[in-house]
A = this chain, B = another copy of it.
């Protein structure tokens, strides 16, 4: 079992290696790939270290599995090459997610979708992922009729440089120093809120991130026409995406019923004693694999509608953890050797 980790030096890549180490990922060999610039760097992996290699046609031969988190253009080019060289690629970029022949899978939600893969499997967007872990049990139990989501997204979702930008700006504001010009975001993010995540493309009033949340939610739930409204917002948080979710269900579901349902669901922890100031927080979600859900309450403004507050670590369950889980599922289900 030879496993490639592509984009190993990034925010998600390093988390992926840490999670594989901690979970004793069943690999005989792990090879870390990154850009030419990072080649030769040493990365910790369990008790060992890995030496970063650059991608090349020769280097990618003989892998069973390739876990990608290196951005869309790398995935566009190199996921098919790994596939053609005999590996299954699990891709964390948005490049392949909406292709019909590519399964888009949340490990706890639709693992059966992996069965039909054709060499490339996609890991969902971090915001959609966190949302789906909480929504899927509700969809199964009572059906979802409509969703209105507003997000509070952490900067590490953008990458390491965004984390540094937030730190540098926050320091300047606190010291009363001149603000460094924003480079990663279009505006200052420190002590601010930016109602734009990713880009506005071709005059669309929704951002590409909002389109991902809508499109990926539909694909993962197998509900191509599910009514979903999304407003994606960046907040000055390092790690942990929070989401305010308004859900109309097909059949009635009480807050107590919802709490019971979600308490038993995989990958979720219900944190919902608001009177004791217990509800999901980004600072609590950061560093753990479970998605937290709380503030479950009846929306009195409409029939069969609940409000929820959902928070997940965008680097872990939102990205690295699910990628590693998909690798494990592919191995367990014998879906790698099937291609040999």
Which residues of A line the B interface, CB within 8 A? 146-148, 150, 152, 166-167, 170-171, 174, 186-188, 191-196, 200, 203, 205-207, 227-229, 231, 233, 235-238, 240, 242, 244, 246, 255, 274-275, 277, 279-283, 294-302, 305, 307, 309
Q: Which 8 A-B pairs have the closest CB atoms?
A: A227-B301, A205-B297, A186-B277, A150-B150, A150-B244, A229-B301, A229-B299, A231-B244
Q: Find chain B residues with CB under 8 A from A282 CB.
A: 192-193
Q: A148-B148, A206-B297, A297-B206 are in contact. Are A194 and B227 (CB under 8 A)?
A: no
Q: Are A196 and B301 in contact (CB under 8 A)?
A: no
Q: Are A295 and B229 in contact (CB under 8 A)?
A: no
Q: Find chain B residues with CB under 8 A from A280 CB.
A: 195
Q: Please, which residue of chain B has its CB at the minimum distance from the CB of A298?
A: B205
Q: Find chain B residues with CB under 8 A from A171 CB.
A: 174
Query: How many identical subunits does the complex contain?
Result: 2
Secondary structure of the A side of the interface?
mixed
Q: Please, which residue of chain B has its CB at the minimum distance from the CB of A227?
A: B301
Q: Find chain B residues with CB under 8 A from A196 CB.
A: 274, 277, 279
Q: Are A279 and B195 in contact (CB under 8 A)?
A: yes
Name 4 extra pairs, CB < 8 A, besides A146-B302, A170-B170, A188-B283. A170-B191, A191-B283, A193-B242, A205-B255
Q: A167-B174, A205-B255, A246-B148 are in contact. Are A237 and B301 (CB under 8 A)?
A: no
